[in-house]
Amino acid sequence: MLPVLVLVAGVAGASPGASDDVCSAARAGQWQLAALRLPEAWRESRGAGVVVAVLDTGVNGRHPDLRGAVTEGPDLTGASPRLSGRHGTAMAGLIAGRGHGERHAEGVMGVAPAARVLSIRVTLENADPLRAERRSVRRDALAAGIRYAADHGADVISMSLGGGSGSWEGSAAEERAVRYAIGRGAVLVASAGNDGDTANRKNFPAAYPGVIAVGAVDRRLRVAPFSNRQDYLSVVAPGTDVVTADGGDAYAVGDGTSSAAALVAGVAALVRSAHPGLSPYHVRLAIERGARKRPARGHSPAYGHGVADALLALWEAGRLAHGTVPPHARPGPFAGSPGPAAGRGPAVPPPASRTPIVAGMLVLAAAMSVRVVSTRRRRGRDSA
């Protein structure tokens, strides 16, 4: 779900060098890198050797930040999409974006920049005219996509979508596919949903047993109002003001549990890369045990087990796999975490200010007369 989408710059078709201001602003605006403690986690793992299946609207593997990272899988919608995979490209960038330019210092850096993406189209963009014609989309596309991913080497399956097979009750075919994929060793991650401030409906595939359901928090690590509150929630992760790759060569800023789920799928890829022998259950356990800002009772419908933390997830995975923790990954004092998580890790730098990205947008607007376009979109079936 990406209910708010702001085009940072319409640079589609331009070379990366023609949009240096935007690319630098995009990297500066990635506050989730510090919030997830990725610079520290990358000393242990960058996701090498891991395949993350992105079940979404398709991925533009030609985006500057995703070149060489994407394998294009099948289109299981049964339709002929008229729009490119903007949502899928955004999610893939958050998972495995590797930036571009000198030392990859520009553009979007994903959580697991050394991982590979397997793109499987299972739904259409919100704005695609075909979405209004439900019969034009294969109803078992998600179930088929999960099985395809499991059969083609996916270590992690990321599903930033929701609504089941056109309903809010899920489907037997999808639940069987989830069990099949877990049995094949895949870790499944899905967005919790974006109607937490209204209907707060049970969201599928997040609600299927065994799936890591992810909610969204803001820069202060407070649960976003739109993030669904449910007993099956696993963890929360950054989901507001998140900079993503866009369908062309552009970048976007958005809100939604889609982004949060993609980030946690990236964390699962880091864990899988560092500890390939861990079962899907133990990968999930490492992510949940490694969460910080944990609720007083260990779990709540709003926070799940707490805020995802890549460094602590790797630490917990090491304990589960070997009973040891690499010295550089040993948590020190953690400032500002109440409850059971207090004292579990090094202090986290404050989230990056939004000033750099705003400044970048203004500079580009002055230089290129690019308009900043803002649209509000509430995702329905198959987008979260």
Q: How does pLDDT run across 81-136, given as a tens digit for each residue?
A: 766 789 999 999 999 999 787 777 678 899 999 999 999 999 987 777 676 665 55
- At 371, the pLDDT band (50, 70, 90 cuts) reads very low
Nearest one of 266, 359, 372 to 5, comparing CA atoms: 372
Average pLDDT over residues 46-59: 96
Q: What would the pLDDT profile of 224-271 be if each residue is shown by its tens digit?
A: 999 999 999 999 999 999 998 887 778 889 899 999 999 999 999 999
Which pLDDT belongs to residue 339?
A: 32
Of the ranges 13-22, 60-69, 174-183, 344-353, the best mean pLDDT one? 174-183
Tokens of 294: 């944990």
Which pLDDT belongs to residue 99?
A: 78
Which pLDDT belongs to residue 325?
A: 57
Catalytic residues: 56, 87, 258
What does pLDDT average to over the chain?
Answer: 81
Q: What would the pLDDT profile of 188-224 be if each residue is shown by its tens digit?
A: 999 999 999 999 999 999 999 999 999 999 999 999 9
Nearest one of 206, 153, 160, 141 to 181, comparing CA atoms: 153
- At 46, the pLDDT band (50, 70, 90 cuts) reads very high
Q: Quote the CA–CA distance of 90 and 253 in Å, as a whole number.
A: 10
Q: Taking the domain 4-376, which CATH number applies?
A: 3.40.50.200
